């Protein structure tokens, strides 16, 4: 009897110990902080991507561009199991409507901040984006997002005010460091862009149009030349050349395919022999969450 009681109280004690150590583990060893990436929308109707830091209750979000409505963004984040209120930063390539939807000026969670390039400051003021929390960055001067994420940028020609391309460098317990490049709405891939993005692990880059389809389209000539004159968008061939020069290590995500002058088949031509996985960002709807880094 005594033995049984002692065994029972012993196993209760064991169970208590286990519970206590689980509690300590939860306290001292939070959920692994995986960093993942997805595009939510990618076309001339709207562009928005997300970097997800952590998972479960602990996740935090960085948006890259916010070219779809806050309501639509909320729905798409929800589809991925992500929470709109956990957006901490919105990093903007430029402020065209398809990259910065007007009602975001009033919809950003209170603690969150826009990250806007110096060259876009005046336009941002007119658009009501210069909050107390807004941070202006200068192209070429790296800034920190927190959680050890460092952002470097390069200003490229696109329409009047230009466009920022980004390289995100992230700490990673498994790989040392990891990096993701993000380049869209480029006039052309300059040597500065190539050196910024050289050897990134994941490269998200626009592959906007098939040249033959563009030339044959019934678009007005001024529009065709605006797109193709070196300060508009990258064609599939220009994108492929840029990818070869950058040599991404693991994956390429093709962004911003024109609905009228491109197809996924045309955009993926030439990438078959690449030593990277290829993802084509849907115009409206999320890609899978792609693992980028593992912070511990
Ligand atoms: Zn665009």
Same domain, 17 and 40: no
Cα of 38 from ligand 1 centre, angstroms: 17
Same domain, 21 and 91: no
pLDDT at residue 154 greater than cutoff 60 = yes
The residue range of the domain holding 5 is 1-30
pLDDT at residue 12 greater than cutoff 80 = no
Cα of 205 from ligand 1 centre, angstroms: 12
Q: Which of 15-29, 32-46, 83-97 has the lowest mean pLDDT?
A: 15-29
Cα of 120 from ligand 1 centre, angstroms: 15
Cα of 61 from ligand 1 centre, angstroms: 22
| Average pLDDT value for residue range 254-265 | 96
Spell out which residues have Cβ within 5 A of ligand 1, the ion: 98, 185
For the segment 24-68, what is each residue's pLDDT rounded down to a tens digit? 444 444 445 789 999 999 999 999 999 999 888 889 999 999 999
Cα of 291 from ligand 1 centre, angstroms: 25
Cα of 66 from ligand 1 centre, angstroms: 11
For the segment 118-146, what is each residue's pLDDT rounded down to a tens digit? 999 999 999 999 988 999 999 999 999 98
Contact indicator for 174, 296 with CB cutoff of 8 Å:
no
- Torsion over CA of 91, 94, 206 and 258, rounded to 10 degrees? 130
Cα of 185 from ligand 1 centre, angstroms: 5
| Average pLDDT value for residue range 137-163 | 91
For the segment 268-294, what is each residue's pLDDT rounded down to a tens digit? 999 998 999 999 999 999 999 999 888
pLDDT at residue 103 greater than cutoff 90 = yes
Q: Domain total for the chain? A: 2
Longest dimension (CA), the chain: 96
Same domain, 51 and 7: no
Cα of 99 from ligand 1 centre, angstroms: 6
| Sequential DSSP letters for 175-230 | TEEEEEEEE-S-S---HHHHHHHTT-SEEEEE--B-HHHHHHS-S-HHHHHHHHSS
Same domain, 139 and 89: yes
pLDDT at residue 1 greater than cutoff 80 = no
Same domain, 3 and 124: no
Same domain, 167 and 135: yes
Same domain, 150 and 192: yes
Cα of 36 from ligand 1 centre, angstroms: 23
pTM, full prediction: 0.87
What confidence score (pLDDT) does residue 296 get?
57
Please choose, from the candidates 64, 269, 17, 15, the residue with its C-alpha nearest in 3D space to the C-alpha of residue 183. 64
Q: Which of 13-22, 45-54, 117-126, 193-202 has the lowest mean pLDDT?
A: 13-22
Same domain, 131 and 119: yes
Cα of 244 from ligand 1 centre, angstroms: 23
For the segment 242-257, what is each residue's pLDDT rounded down to a tens digit? 999 999 999 999 999 9
Q: At 220, which CATH number?
A: 3.60.15.10
Cα of 100 from ligand 1 centre, angstroms: 10
For the segment 226-236, what is each residue's pLDDT rounded down to a tens digit? 888 878 899 99
Same domain, 1 and 89: no
């Amino acid at each position: 009897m005594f033995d049984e009681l002692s065994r029972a109280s012993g196993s209760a004690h064991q169970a208590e110990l286990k519970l206590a150590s689980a509690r300590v583990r939860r306290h001292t060893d939070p959920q692994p902080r995986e960093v993942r990436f997805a595009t939510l929308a990618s076309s001339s109707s709207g562009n928005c991507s997300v970097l997800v830091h952590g998972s479960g209750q602990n996740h935090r979000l960085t948006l890259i561009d916010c070219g779809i409505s806050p309501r639509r963004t909320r729905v798409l984040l929800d589809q991925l199991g992500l929470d709109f209120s956990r957006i901490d930063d919105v990093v903007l390539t430029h402020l065209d409507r398809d990259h910065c939807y007007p009602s975001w000026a009033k919809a950003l969670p209170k603690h969150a901040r826009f990250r806007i390039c110096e060259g876009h400051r005046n336009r941002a003021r007119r658009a009501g984006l210069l909050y107390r929390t807004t941070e202006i960055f200068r192209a070429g001067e790296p800034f920190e997002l927190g959680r050890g994420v460092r952002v470097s940028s390069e200003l490229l020609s696109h329409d009047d005010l230009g466009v920022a391309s980004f390289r995100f460098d992230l700490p990673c317990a498994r790989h040392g460091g990891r990096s993701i490049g993000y380049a869209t709405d480029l006039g052309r891939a300059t040597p500065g862009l190539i050196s910024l993005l050289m050897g990134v692990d994941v490269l998200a880059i626009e592959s906007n149009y098939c040249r033959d389809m563009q030339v044959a389209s019934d678009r007005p000539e001024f529009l065709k030349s605006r797109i193709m004159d070196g300060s508009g968008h990258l064609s599939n061939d220009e994108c492929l050349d840029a990818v070869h020069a950058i040599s991404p290590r693991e994956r390429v995500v093709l962004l911003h395919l024109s609905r009228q002058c491109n197809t996924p088949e045309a955009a993926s031509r030439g990438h078959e022999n690449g030593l990277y996985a290829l993802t084509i960002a849907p115009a409206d709807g999320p890609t899978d969450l792609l693992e980028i880094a593992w912070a511990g």
